Amino acid sequence: MEKVVIIGTGCSGLTAAIYTARANLKPLVLTGTMPGGLLTTTSIVENYPGFPEGIDGYELMVRMQKQAEKFGARVQFGTVEAVDLSKAPFTLSVDGERVEAQTIIIASGASHRHIGLESEALLERKGVTYCATCDGALPMFRKQPLVVVGGGDSACEEATYLTRFASTVYLIHRRDSLRASKVMAERTLVHPNIKPIWNSVVTEILDVKQDKVTGVRVKNIKTNAESFIESAGVFIAIGHVPNTQIFKGQIDLDENGYVVPKRGTETNVPGVFVSGDCSDHVYRQAVTAAGLGCAAAIDAERYLAELKQ
Ligand code: NAP
């Protein structure tokens, strides 16, 4: 039986892994389908303390994993399909295998939110993407007009990154100002190759018949005027949804699916702790996720010590 199973290998899960490994608990750390979490899809992280020049998101996560493994964490590629938290020890089904655990740290993070259009689903990976750093350099996007949807830090970051490849980047946002941090918004709006399209939503991505992206149909929500923007790609950056579906009915979730912690990182189930983006819809930063991962590890360690007594 495992003493600690950590679900997720983003900033939060890997920090929890470093702390529980250093406490000699030999955590089993499960990657899910996105090893390293969302930060691996970011380019330069400029606000993680200790890196005055910034650090590549992927590299930061590789370093965190190495640090955790150095102290004895076992990082395993695997997706948790189901959990039974009704009695201790808890059981998890991981790619069909049964795993038993005395404590669990849920650090399952969040996934990209979809607009919800039929054409969006049909053209995913055929020009519709949720990650500029992963796909922006593909030949199909080079020297082409591209669309970014969203108004937060992610959308600004994606738009700025895409100017390396695109002829023009259209930033389509449903409001008349950006939600992004001041520095990011200013950098985006002064860029000569980024053209904001305000108060607008994408109503259809074309062209499903051609099986590739050729443009978007856009509606101005103030005037109801419709227009067409030619584009070889659509990069969607409209926020995230927490990866908590498997805990529904067992762990207290709020109406948006975020885990509701009780005290510190404790959940409603004693022995199950939570940290990072799957419970934090307020701060959502790499450094806060890491901090919460540390807190969850300390809480799990104390819980195990009390069990022993
Ligand atoms: P976000 O801040 O939640 O912004 C999401 C944006 O998408 C908002 O502008 C929102 O519009 C829009 N949106 C949501 N649903 C939509 C829909 N169905 N259709 C059209 N537009 C929709 O998400 P984020 O940009 O991914 O950022 C998440 C967190 O990560 C934030 O805390 C951010 O600061 C952080 N982050 C930091 C960095 C960095 O510092 N380097 C980089 C990326 C992200 P409204 O404005 O109308 O709500």
pLDDT at 281: 87
Structural tokens at position 205: 């991505």
Cβ(188)–Cβ(160) below 8 Å: yes
pLDDT reported for residue 65: 98
Instruction: Tell me, using a 6 A CB cutoff, whether residue 152 lines ligand 1.
Output: yes
> From the CB of 227, is ligand 1 less than 6 Å away?
no
Q: Is the CB of 150 under 6 A from ligand 1?
A: yes
Radius of gyration of the chain (CA): 21
Q: Which of 83, 75, 128 is nearest to 103 (CA)?
A: 83
Q: What is the residue-wise DSSP string for 185-220? A: HHHHHT-TTEEEETTEEEEEEE-GGGTS--EEEEEE
DSSP-assigned letter for residue 238 = -
- Best residue for ligand 1 mutational test, from 238, 258, 280, 287 (most atoms within 8 Å of Cβ): 238
CA distance 248 to 119: 29
Kindly state the greatest CA–CA separation across the chain.
69
Q: Please say if 135 is a catalytic residue.
A: yes
For residues 67 and 45, the answer to whether their CB atoms sit within 8 Å is: no
Instruction: Compute, in angstroms, the gap from residue 71 CA to the centroid of ligand 1.
Output: 35
Query: Do you know the residue count of the chain?
Result: 309
In this prediction, residue 63 carries a pLDDT of 98
Catalytic residue among 134, 176, 211, 254: 134
For ligand 1, the distance from its centroid to the CA atom of residue 132, given in whole angstroms, is 15
Are 5 and 28 in contact by the 8 Å Cβ rule? The answer is yes
CATH top-level class of 114-236 = alpha beta
* Predicted local distance difference test score (pLDDT) of residue 118: 98
**Which residue's C-alpha comes closest to atom 34 of ligand 1?**
153
pLDDT of the residue at 304: 97
Alpha carbons 298 and 71: distance in angstroms, whole number:
16
115 lines ligand 1 (CB under 6 A): yes
SS3 179: coil
Query: How many CA atoms are closer than 13 Å to the CA of 156, on its beta-carbon side?
Result: 18
pLDDT of residue 286: 94
Tokens describing residue 271: 């022995």
CB of 272 closer than 8 Å to CB of 85: yes
- Cα atoms in the Cβ-side hemisphere of radius 13 Å centred on 51: 14
| Structure token pair of residue 282 | 């307020």
CB-based burial label for 97 (10 Å; 0-12, 13-18, 19+): exposed
Q: Which H/E stretch holds residue 135? A: helix 132-135
Predicted local confidence at residue 282, as pLDDT: 85
**C-alpha of residue 114 to centroid of ligand 1, in Å:** 12
Active-site residue (options: 11, 135, 156, 277): 135
Out of 160, 174, 175, give the residue to mutate to test ligand 1, the one with the largest number of ligand atoms within 8 Å of its CB.
Answer: 174
Residue with tokens 């890491």: 290
pLDDT at 76: 97
Residue boundaries of the structural domains of the chain: 2-111+240-308, 114-236
Q: State which CATH number among 2.60.40.10, 3.50.50.60, 3.40.50.2000, 3.40.1080.10 fits the domain covering 2-111+240-308.
A: 3.50.50.60
Q: Which residues contact 255 (CB under 8 A, 6 or more apart)?
A: none
CA of 261 to the centre of ligand 1 (A): 23
Q: Which atom of ligand 1 is nearest to the CA of 46?
A: 41
CATH topology agreement for domains 2-111+240-308 and 114-236: yes
Per-residue pLDDT of the chain (309 residues; tens, 9 = 90+): 999 999 999 999 999 999 999 999 999 999 998 999 988 877 778 889 999 999 999 999 999 999 999 999 999 999 999 999 999 999 999 999 999 999 999 999 999 999 999 999 999 989 999 989 878 988 999 999 999 999 999 999 999 999 999 999 999 999 999 999 999 999 999 999 999 999 999 999 999 999 999 999 999 999 999 999 999 999 999 999 999 999 999 999 999 999 999 999 999 999 999 999 999 988 888 999 999 999 999 999 999 999 988
Q: Is the CB of 133 under 6 A from ligand 1?
A: no
The DSSP code sequence of 98-119 is EEEEEEEEE---EEEPP---HH
CA distance 276 to 13: 8
Q: How far apart are CA 270 and CA 117, in angstroms?
A: 40
Residue 294 among the catalytic residues = no
